[in-house]
Amino acid sequence: MTLFESERSLIVLDCGIKFPDPSFESSLLTADFQYVIDKKDKVKALFITHGHEDHIGAIPFLLKKVNVPIYGTKLTLGMVRAKLKDYKISSKDVTFHEINSNEIIFVDDMFVESFHVNHSIPDGVGYAIHTPHGTIIHSGDFKFDQTPIDRKTTEYNKLVSISSKGIDLLMLDITNVEREGFTPSERVVGEKFFDVFRKVNGRIILTTFASNIHRVQQAINASIAFDRKFCILGKSMINTVSIAKELGYLSFPEEYQLKQHELKNHPLEKTTIITTGSQGEPLSVLTRIANNNHKDVKIFPNDTVIISASPIPGNETLVNKTINKLFKLGAEVLYEPNHRVHVSGHGSKEDIKLLINLVKPKNLLPFHGEFRHMKHFSDLAQSLSYSKENIILAKNGAVVELNNGEVKIVDEIAIRNMIASGSEIIEFNKSSFLERKKISDEGLILISLTFDPEKFKILAEPRIKTLGLKNQENIIQKEIESAIYSFFLKSPKIENTQKLEDKISNSIKELVFSQYRKYPAIFIQAIKLNSK
């Protein structure tokens, strides 16, 4: 999320989520909205560059705090509407404005123009934001694809026309600044698909990001070309394909699409499955197939699995586990970097240089990068004759001031890590989530007991509750109860309640691990009560 603030108005650009760690697969990090909430009377518009989750995923949470009109392209707004529906927010309660390529959008004392860019999802745009103190171009996520699937290249003429009036700051995507050359065209992947489909005799299972609609289109095209029917599996893939087809971004003859229940009766060699799971997500279709627990799809020795994506940093272990399991089940697996079945949606070094040379900005501010990316970008920019003073390396929370063509960091806003919890957002605390993860994996035992400290004996039957220990709970509860009675019979008198609880907890941990190889979280409440 990026904010553009003038004396009278505030524009929000993108509002996404990310996964904090592969082990927190059900948790989502969002932006900290506090600054926006504090200035909600100034917030005039939310502009979206494209429909990826890291750019639209937190919009439902923002709308619960701030009522703001949303601007974006046709597909992007379609994805946003679907996202709002997931959170039971009616689109009728939100003002949407579909961007027209030739339109100038006036937002109080600022005005905004858009220009088409290529990315791994159709309908992406960058924005030119004209403020009272200068003009900023935000590239959005981009690459220069000279042969895009939809034949829509970057709007070079418009970008150059806007830039000819002078650009004070270019904010640009540097995800692939470490890669040499230009990022290959999406069409390269389609050519590889055709080559693979031509050679493979068995079933093909292909996974990619659901939002990569052009990739899905190319997989469908290859299937039809070699007389295969295809089946779309996975909630996000099904939803995205439905939206894209309805809005005209995806096309295919209906007779070539199989329903999930039709898979078992269709010849394997005439079947393609297009599904989710390219990142090894634990609940995804491909992971369930690899774990041999999908109800309709089992791996056969003649199957070929194509993983048409690169692992997001941090997901490598999950992806490698999936690949290994698929090989063990007898499938042939094609994946990056061993096979050319994926290209990035982000520009490499030469794309970045080209954008800078087209725009010719006075100042540069990179985004989408870790510190090493920033360092490489700074070196690249200096090779294009930019001085260090004109290369703004800003971290999250930085306040960057544009004043009469001069750009500098002037302040920093404290940014909290926020996490989506149900329909609300709360501050993210890693230690509490590690504890939650442990409970999920190892189970939880709750014990309440009353004892006489003088006689050191239990006064009533202990209350025991176990969670996350399926098929073992009744047995474990009886064993724990027996262990507690045994402890009071054999242990020396312990007067300190905390010490007593710790001793009982350790005893139960040893019991559960020796019997079930589990380390559950154990919470004990021991209540002193003198008996008569």
Return d(Cα 419, Cα 399) in angstroms, integer: 23
Return d(Cα 223, Cα 228) in angstroms, integer: 5
Q: Is 100 annotated as a binding residue?
A: no
Distance of CA 473 to the CA centre of its chain: 35
Q: Is 266 annotated as a binding residue?
A: no
Return d(Cα 528, Cα 200) in angstroms, integer: 72
* Burial of 306 per CB tally in 10 Å (0-12, 13-18, 19+): buried
Q: Is 210 annotated as a binding residue?
A: yes
Return d(Cα 442, Cα 258) in angstroms, integer: 40
Beta-bridged to residue 144, according to DSSP, are none
Q: Which of 14, 123, 173, 351 is catalytic?
A: 173
* Number of Cβ within a 10 Å radius of residue 426: 13
Residues 144 and 347 sit within 8 Å (Cβ to Cβ): yes
Q: Is 212 annotated as a binding residue?
A: yes
Residues 2 and 15 sit within 8 Å (Cβ to Cβ): no
Q: Is 531 annotated as a binding residue?
A: no
- 429 token code pair: 């605390």
| Parallel, antiparallel or unpaired: strands 10-13 and 43-47 | parallel
Residues 87 and 64 sit within 8 Å (Cβ to Cβ): no
Beta-bridged to residue 503, according to DSSP, are none
Phi, psi angles (nearest 5°) of residue 275: -150, 180
| Parallel, antiparallel or unpaired: strands 229-232 and 271-275 | parallel
* Number of Cβ within a 10 Å radius of residue 111: 14
Residues 282 and 440 sit within 8 Å (Cβ to Cβ): no
Q: Is 50 annotated as a binding residue?
A: yes
* Burial of 520 per CB tally in 10 Å (0-12, 13-18, 19+): buried
Q: Which of 130, 346, 373, 376 is catalytic?
A: 346
Return d(Cα 96, Cα 20) in angstroms, integer: 30
- In angstroms, the first-to-last Cα distance of the chain is 66
Q: Is 342 annotated as a binding residue?
A: yes
Return d(Cα 392, Cα 374) in angstroms, integer: 9
- 173 catalytically annotated: yes
Residue whose C-alpha is closest to residue 205's, from 261, 301, 289, 272? 272
Quickly tell me which residue has 């009469």 as its tokens: 404
Q: Is 502 annotated as a binding residue?
A: no
Q: Is 343 annotated as a binding residue?
A: yes
Q: Is 345 annotated as a binding residue?
A: yes
CB burial string 434-444: b at 16+ within 10 A, e below = eeebeeeebbb
- Cis peptide before 337, with omega less than 30 degrees from 0? yes
Active site residues: 173, 346
| Binding-site positions for Zn(2+) | 50, 52, 54-55, 119, 141, 368
| Binding-site positions for substrate | 210-212, 342-346
